[in-house]
Amino acid sequence: MAASAPAAHPKTASRLRELVSNQTFVLFLVWIAMVVFFTAANHIFFSSDVAGNILADWGPLMLVATAETFVIISGGIDLSVGAITGLSGVVAAFAMQDMTTAGQGATLTLIVGLLVCIGVGLLVGLINSLLINYARLVPFIATLVTLGAGEGLSIVFTGGAPIGGGPPQAISLSVPWLGPFSTPVLVVVAITIVCWLYLHKAKFGRYTYAFGSNSFATRAAGISTKKQITKIYMLSGLLSGLAGMFFYLRLGSGAPTTGAGLELDAIAAVVIGGAALSGGVGRLSGTIMGALILTTVTSGLIIIGVAPNWKQVVVAVLIALAVSIQALRRGEGKAS
């Protein structure tokens, strides 16, 4: 029963081996390769301006991908993140339009808009968790319901058109000022760090992994899985709502189509980042790289003049490879 600890390796060699087997590091190398490739194809790619463009796409994707990371590690899936992004942006846009028309100041209006986005996100997240906990729907179906309802409501509310008329300062907030970083992007970076700490260092993350790894064991250990599900899906809603505000600041309006299909990009980023849809596995650092790779491909293809539809092909190849690496590793894990 007792197994001796593995024989000590020379420190540097084992560290190197760890790096190479680390999905995040591999993705980092892939990303570097992409940057080199795009720069070789068009030197203008290697500029702060393009980095700013990439980060402007990365910000909202990272928010929903972070949400999806928690959900997927818990063994669930949240298809409603994109719909929440669109709906919260639209509802906030109406609120900000009203306040601006009524002559309210920009700062107060934007704060209210932010709170509305957070509120809409939390509300839909709560509905998701109620559907899962009490209506006993599996997460796929529960969030498919809210995806449909959310997208539908966005179109009904807006009549299909973007809603502007908010504070004219909105777009200027999205202008990069710290190198390629704009204020919203810096906020996303800060949120990502906090989420990383809570996923990997705190009880909330521990229970998220435990639930995805073995929900029976988690319940048997006396942990309330209903509470944990509620927290996870409300966090997912909250982050998606923040993505809605991010898009509002970027476009100066809330569009009902914003966020359509964003859930697929988020899931792609998480899966490329090394998480398993079966739950219990994944790192937020992998998701960070996954999201960065996706958005780098988007801008890169535009800069080198390739039809952006090729992005889907690149993403498909990356997903297939990321998943097969996982399968290879699992095989090794069993063998050793």
Partner 1 sequence: MYNLTSRRAAGALAVAGAATLLLAACSSSSGSSSSSSAASPAGSAAASSAAAPSAGASGSPAAAGASCPSGTTIAFVMGAEADPFFKAMKVGADAEAQAKGVTLVWQGDPSVYSPATQIPIVDKVLATKPSGLVLIPTDPSALQPANDQAVAAGIPVVNVDTHVNDQSKVTSWITGDNNDGGAKAADALATAIGYQSGKSYQVVVGLTSPTATTNTARLAGFKAQLAAKYPGIKIMDVAYSQSQPSVANTNVSNWLTKYPNLNGIFAIDGTNATGAAAALQAKGLTGKVALVGYDAYPQNVALIKSGVFTALIAQDPAQEAKLAIDDLTQVICGKSTAGIQKAVTIPNVVLDKTTSAADLQKYTYVQ
Partner 2 sequence: MTDALYEVRNISKNYGAVTALDNVSMKVRAGEIVGLVGDNGAGKSTLVKCLSGVHQPSSGEILLDGQERHWRSPHDAIQAGIETLYQESGLAPQLSVGANVFLGREEMKPGILGKLGFLAQKSMDARAHADLERVGIAVPSSNRSIAQLSGGQRQAVAIGRAVAWASKIIILDEPTNHLGARQAGEVLHVMRAARDQGLGVIFISHTLPHVLEVTDRIVVLRLGRVVKDAPTSTFDQESLLGTITGLIAD
Which residues, numbered 168-187, are part of the site for partner 1 (CB under 8 A)?
A: 171-172, 174-175
Does position 198 bind partner 2 by CB under 8 A?
Answer: yes
| 243 C-beta neighbours (distance < 10 Å), count | 33
What does the per-residue mask of binding to partner 2 show for 280-309, with x meaning CB under 8 A?
A: xx----------------------------
Q: What's the min distance (Å) between Cβ of 267 and partner 1?
A: 18
**Rounded-to-integer distance, Cα 278 and Cα 282, Å:** 10
Among 216, 261, 307, 309, binds partner 2 (CB under 8 A): 216
**Rounded-to-integer distance, Cα 123 and Cα 138, Å:** 19
Structure tokens at 85: 């992004």
Which CB, 169 or 206, lies closer to partner 2? 206
Structure tokens at 235: 């966090």
Contacts of 231 (CB under 8 A, 6+ apart): 204
Q: Are 276 and 23 in contact (CB under 8 A)?
A: no
Which CB, 124 or 163, lies closer to partner 1? 163
| 310 C-beta neighbours (distance < 10 Å), count | 11
Which CB, 46 or 204, lies closer to partner 2? 204
**Rounded-to-integer distance, Cα 135 and Cα 128, Å:** 10
Does position 252 bind partner 1 by CB under 8 A?
Answer: yes
Q: What's the min distance (Å) between Cβ of 230 and partner 1?
A: 30
201-240 residues in contact with partner 1 (CB under 8 A) are: none
138-157 residues in contact with partner 1 (CB under 8 A) are: 152, 155-156
Output phi, psi for 266, to 5 deg: -65, -45
What does the per-residue mask of binding to partner 2 show for 247-266, with x meaning CB under 8 A?
A: --------------------
* Cα 314 → chain centroid: 19
What does the per-residue mask of binding to partner 1 show for 287-306, with x meaning CB under 8 A?
A: ----------xxxxxxxxxx
